[in-house]
């Protein structure tokens, strides 16, 4: 890949307290890149090895500028794109990290003459996780994606992502296997499974193996970002579901493989000598779903144990390179719940449970894939629904493309798995 020897990324911060403007504060400052790229440290080498990372610039970040009273962040992205993100949410996370989310106002919004609810903000949004002096984040501007993460010697990498370079969510054979393992479950209203203990919160236990621990320098911050992105996507169309991390990250030392079907077989078989204790740990942490961050696979971003899985098979594995930016975390969880891809002809368990491609806007929802009919369409943080729009165009249909309804229908059942 091509690197910029000299970075030119600078961010400034301004916010107001009680109506009085605070002096501008520099969040990012340029640092020399010649030595860093001539002799990159191990963290920068890992960033460079990710084929989706199309352009990398090094910056020094003042993480202390990210806090609850910070009303806005101004940023200059690669290519000289100047933006301002205005805070829409701040949260002190259970992990001790801080979450800061801001909306990027890229264009004036005209009156909404449609009966649909516009969610254009999902393509213009910054999500930042502060962990001590580190910042982990994703920044979306007009559908373009940038990632922010710490690298060696206190520096941060500001990365322009080629979203078409993400591996498929599941390759064809893996998806066929998921379809074959779909469970016939009674989803009718009033069935015992439809009576949840917690109708809105799905607890997800995250597990790391040796490869993931080696690939990610700050696992908790990276996981916090994955949960934040997932919850933003779930909230965008009102799925009435929220994800919560179930306990601490579980660490395993067993031998791993890049064959995700094999990994899932080992995870769901609790008596084969590989992950026999994961079931009891899941029970202890009252986890409805288990997510295992597996070794990097060049072939796919993730794979679930099935579609509309049983309680016992509510597992998915994912590529650490796809932990943020591609919505893979919530994509695979959606398979567990019962959602299907846009190009999947299967009509069970829900005929309406497919992703959607908004071709006129060059966008696709979380369950629409990049190896489908629109390989250049960028993914938005929202599930298909006929009641919401991007650019004035509906992001779903009533009869076939309404994964928001899938979440509302079976999400409470999954939330009652533990």
- 234 with 209, same domain: the answer is yes
146: domain range? 28-161
332 noted as active-site residue: yes
Within a domain: 276: yes
Residue 376 shares a structural domain with residue 330: yes
One domain for residues 90 and 209 = no
- Residues 207, 351 within the same domain: yes
Residue 80: per-residue pLDDT: 81
Is 7 within the bounds of a domain? no
| Residues 237 and 92 occupy one common structural domain | no
pLDDT of residue 306: 96
Q: Which of 84, 98, 160, 332 is catalytic?
A: 332
The pLDDT of residue 29 is 72
Instruction: Clarify whether residues 135 and 157 are in a common domain.
Output: yes
Nearest CA-CA partner of 364 in 379, 374, 352:
379
In a domain, 152, yes or no: yes
Clarify whether residues 128 and 248 are in a common domain.
Answer: no
Into how many domains does the chain fold? Answer: 2
Q: Are residues 248 and 328 in the same domain?
A: yes
pLDDT attached to residue 23: 36
Q: Are residues 47 and 176 in the same domain?
A: no
How much is the pLDDT for 414?
97
In a domain, 5, yes or no: no
The pLDDT score that the predictor gives to residue 105 is: 82
> Which pLDDT belongs to residue 111?
56
Three-state secondary structure of the chain: CCCCCECCCCEEEECEECCEECCCEEEEEECECHHHHHCCCHHHHHHHHCCCEEEEEEEEECHHHCCCCCCEEEEEECCCEEEEEEEEEEEECCCCCEEEEEEECCCCCCCCCCCCEECHHHHCEEEEEEECCEEEEEEEECCEEEEEEECHHHCEEEEEECHHHCCCCCCHHHHHHHHHCCCCCCCCCCCHHHCCCCCCEEEEEEEECHHHHHHCCCHHHHHHHHHHHHHHHHHHCCCCCEEEECCCCEECCCCCCCCHHHHHHHHHCCCCCCCCCHHHHHHHCCCCEEEEECCCCCCCCEEECCCCCCHHHCEEEECHHHCCCCCHHHHHHHHHHCCECCCCCCCCCCCCEECCEEHHHCEECCCCCCCCCCCCCEECCCCCEEEEEECCEEECCCCCECHHHHHHHHHHHHHCCC
Answer yes or no: is 6 within a domain: no
What local confidence, expressed as pLDDT, does residue 31 receive? Answer: 82
Is residue 296 included in any domain, yes or no?
yes
130 in Cβ contact with 27 (< 8 Å): no
Domain check: are 344 and 263 in the same one? yes
Task: Indicate whether 289 and 329 sit together in one domain.
Answer: yes
Which parts of the chain sit beneath pLDDT 50?
Answer: 1-24, 185-198
Whether residues 407 and 376 share a domain: the answer is yes
What CATH number did the domain enclosing 276 receive?
Answer: 3.40.390.10
Q: Residue 193 falls within a domain, yes or no?
A: no
């Amino acid at each position: 890949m091509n690197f910029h020897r000299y970075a030119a990324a600078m961010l400034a911060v301004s916010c107001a307290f009680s109506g009085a403007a605070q002096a501008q504060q520099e969040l990012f400052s340029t640092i020399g890149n010649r030595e860093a790229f001539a002799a990159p440290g191990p963290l920068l080498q890992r960033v460079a090895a990710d084929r989706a990372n199309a352009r990398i610039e090094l910056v020094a970040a003042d993480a202390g500028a990210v806090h609850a009273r910070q009303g806005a962040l101004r940023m200059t992205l690669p290519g000289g794109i100047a933006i301002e993100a205005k805070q829409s949410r701040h949260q002190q996370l259970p992990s001790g990290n801080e979450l800061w989310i801001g909306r990027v106002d890229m264009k004036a919004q005209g009156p909404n003459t449609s009966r649909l609810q516009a969610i254009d903000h999902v393509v213009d949004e910054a999500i930042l996780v502060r962990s001590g002096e580190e910042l982990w984040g994703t920044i979306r501007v007009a559908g373009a994606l940038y990632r922010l993460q710490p690298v060696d010697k206190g520096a941060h990498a500001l990365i322009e992502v080629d979203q078409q370079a993400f591996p498929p969510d599941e390759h064809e054979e893996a998806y066929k296997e998921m379809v074959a393992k779909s469970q016939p479950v009674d989803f009718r209203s009033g069935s015992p499974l439809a009576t949840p203990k917690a109708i809105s919160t799905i607890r997800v236990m995250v597990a790391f193996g040796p490869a993931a621990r080696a690939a990610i320098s700050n696992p908790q911050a990276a996981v916090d970002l994955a949960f934040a992105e997932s919850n933003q996507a779930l909230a965008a169309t009102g799925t009435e579901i929220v994800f919560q991390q179930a306990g601490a990250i579980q660490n395993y030392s067993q031998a791993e493989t890049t064959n995700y079907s094999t990994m899932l077989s080992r995870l769901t078989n609790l008596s084969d000598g590989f992950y026999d204790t994961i079931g009891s740990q899941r029970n202890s942490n009252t986890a409805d779903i288990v997510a295992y961050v597996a070794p990097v696979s060049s072939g796919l971003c993730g794979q679930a144990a099935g579609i509309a899985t049983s309680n016992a098979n509510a597992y998915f594995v994912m590529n650490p390179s796809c932990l943020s930016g591609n919505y893979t975390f919530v994509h695979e969880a959606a398979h567990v719940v019962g959602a299907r891809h846009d190009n999947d002809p299967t009509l069970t368990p829900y005929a309406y449970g497919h992703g959607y491609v908004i071709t006129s806007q060059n966008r696709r929802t979380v369950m629409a894939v990049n190896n489908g009919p629109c390989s250049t369409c960028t993914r938005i943080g929202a599930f298909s629904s006929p009641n919401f729009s991007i650019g004035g165009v509906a992001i779903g249909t009533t009869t076939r493309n309404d994964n928001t309804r899938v979440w509302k229908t079976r999400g409470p059942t999954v939330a009652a798995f533990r």
